[in-house]
Structure 1
């Protein structure tokens, strides 16, 4: 079982595209490739938390919380 899986997906809207993010790997991809605000503590913290969850060094729940915080910081529509 992938330790980066989340217990509940996060709905996030970037531009006109809606994403259902189910795990830290998907979140990391969005952060690296689609994110509108690629600076600041919430963004960097989310990248680090996702990497740690993917590598099994940190709980998936921490990555999920950090991802939601980064989305809010970027003023994205997010439904945790």
Structure 2
């Protein structure tokens, strides 16, 4: 199985949060998408869920899941601060 850790962590600022949240790996990204994401619809959101799940299963690279997560952030107007 592929490692699910990203080469570089991301820091995002979700609406209503005072501090940025660090996302270091695919599992954490999947949790944030499923439990804390401000928008639970949209093409990029759905793709991010799919690619994160596939990366966890070892069926795609963590970097592909990271790109999908970034696209979901753009779609939902979630600020990526690092």
Do Structure 1 and Structure 2 share a fold, with TM-score over 0.5?
yes
Aligned counterpart, 1:53: 55
Structure with higher strand content: 1
Moved over 6 A (4+): none
TM-score calculated relative to the size of structure 1: 0.92
RMSD of Structure 2 on Structure 1 (CA): 1.5
Structure 2, unpaired ranges of 5+? none
State TM-score, norm by structure 2: 0.90
Residue 22 (structure 2) aligns with: 20
CA distance in 2 between counterparts of 1:72 and 1:12 reads 11
| The one of 42, 45, 56 aligned to 1:43 | 45
Structure 1's unaligned 5+ residue stretches are none
